[in-house]
Amino acid sequence: MCTSNKHALFYFISLATLIMVSQRWLGWRWLVTMYDVLDGSTDIADVHIHVIRAPDLVNLMRWLWST
């Protein structure tokens, strides 16, 4: 797991791009909120993702995290 701020930013941008493309192409309707922990750390391990109303997306994310 990368811990540098540049890697965290790149990961965040890549994930946001995947979200936008998948929503446009596949028509998924869901809400993703990302936030940092209260200590202000920008380590990617501290970024939490909450997915609402998206069974297909949840399965996709589980597959992505498991690889």
Quick: pLDDT tens for 5-60.
677 777 777 777 777 666 655 544 444 444 444 445 445 454 445 444 455 666 66
- The domain locations on the chain are 5-66
Determine the straight-line distance between the first and last CA of the chain, rounded to whole angstroms: 13
Q: Give the pLDDT of residue 12.
A: 78
Tokens of 47: 């970024």
Q: Give the pLDDT of residue 16.
A: 75
**Among candidates 56, 5, 50, 14, which has minimal Cα distance to 31?**
50
Got the DSSP string for 2-57? --SHHHHHHHHHHHHHHHHHHHHHH----EEEEE--TT----GGG-EEEEES-HHH
Quick: pLDDT tens for 1-13.
445 667 777 777 7
Q: Give the pLDDT of residue 5.
A: 67
Q: Give the pLDDT of residue 39.
A: 46
